[in-house]
Amino acid sequence: MSSLIDDIEEKFVSRGSVTHVIFDFDGILVDTERLYSKANEQVLKSQHGKTFTNIEKALMMGKAKPLAVEALLKSFGLDDPKGIEKYMEAYDAKLAELLIAETEVLPGAIPLVDHLHKSGIPLAICTGSDALEFKQKTSNTEISNWLEKIPLRLLCGSDPEITYCKPHPEPYLKLMKRFDDGGPASPENVLVFEDSVNGVRSALDAGCTVIMVPQPEFLPPNWEEDELRAHPNLVEVLESLTEFKPQNYGLPAFC
């Protein structure tokens, strides 16, 4: 995927360098989006005989689980509260099983986080997960130990200070105020990595500088249209974190 601008450095120098970095979690650091899809495919088919596609996936990505499931079922006209509750129970059980057994770190995530942490860049995670989901996704000891390098985490699904989850900007606005160093001088000095349209909108509306790293298999049919509608602060679209060049944003280059 090509950059959305011809010269990133020229555009960015006018507003200063990145001082803080925030990562979405699912689909950016860990490969859990495919597990969400797998769980939905199985439960949606078994309970309602429906097929789960990228159209439904796009409706759900980046949202807290209750809102995501509600959006999914409403898209099929299945908005009965009891039906939603029944679906959630089956989905939770299937997802927990998959998360514990199959969660993996995505390419480029470990070297990038390690490099930024070693360089003293303040890091954070902003995810739609709740505390239980996050615990399940990080039950692998190696993943859990690695993530100690990012102690600041905002879990939209269970954070008592969050009223609106992604795509609303509130999660990023609140998270930027929680950095130990007092936070960035400006939201534009915060670089956010997101994989979903909902997550990108949340970060852009909060004023952050955003790099999108979508997983191609989960792109919605109207992806190009959504990409072009995005804010100018969406500065790059990468195929993988392995393509990221930190020096383009005033961050230390990889050695």
The residues annotated with a catalytic role in the active site are 24, 26
Over the range 101-125, which residues count as b (16 or more CB within 10 Å of their CB) and which as e? eebebbebbbebbebbbeeebbbbb
Residue matched to tokens 């499931």: 69
Total Cβ atoms within 10 A of residue 205: 18
- With residue 223 as reference, give the H or E element that holds it: helix 223-229
Q: Are 241 and 213 in contact (CB under 8 A)?
A: yes
Residue 210 φ then ψ, to 5°? -125, 135
Smallest Cα–Cα separation from 178: which of 202, 158, 157, 159? Answer: 159
Q: Are strands 209-212 and 123-127 parallel, antiparallel or unpaired?
A: unpaired
Gap between the Cα atoms of 227 and 12, Å rounded: 19
- Residue 40 CA, chain-centre distance (Å), reads 18
Q: What is the DSSP letter of 99?
A: H
Residue matched to tokens 């020229």: 10
- List 251's β-bridge partners, or say none: none
